[in-house]
Amino acid sequence: MAHFLVNVADACRTANQEQRNKLANVLFEEIKVDSGGKVVAVKPRPEFKPFFKMNFEWHSKDIGWRPRGDLNP
């Protein structure tokens, strides 16, 4: 599963629109899009949520992001 999720970005770049839609339906319960068509929020399906959380935490460290109220460096 982790290998699949690591390669999702590559799959999206090479897929056509129909394939991207199918992939999105597999991964997400909900996708919110603004009036310009930009994705502004997603809700992963429960079975994928731990992977998205882990990915977020990993990348948050790279950019130095901390949750509000967390004053520890």
Beta bridge partners of 42: 31
**Model confidence at 39: pLDDT above 70:** yes
- Structure confidence by residue, pLDDT tens digits, 19-30: 989 999 999 999
Instruction: Return the ∠ at Cα 61 (arms to 10 and 33), rounded to 5°.
Output: 50
Q: What is the pLDDT of residue 52?
A: 81
The residue among 8 and 36 whose pLDDT is bigger is: 36
Beta strand spans in the chain (E): 28-33, 39-44
Q: Which residues contact 72 (CB under 8 A, 6 or more apart)?
A: 66
Q: What is the pLDDT of residue 51?
A: 84
Instruction: Give the gyration radius of the chain's Cα atoms.
Output: 15
| Boundaries of every domain in the chain | 2-63
**Model confidence at 57: pLDDT above 90:** no
* Mean pLDDT confidence for 48-67: 73
> What is the C-alpha to C-alpha distance for residues 59 and 55, in angstroms, rounded to an integer?
6
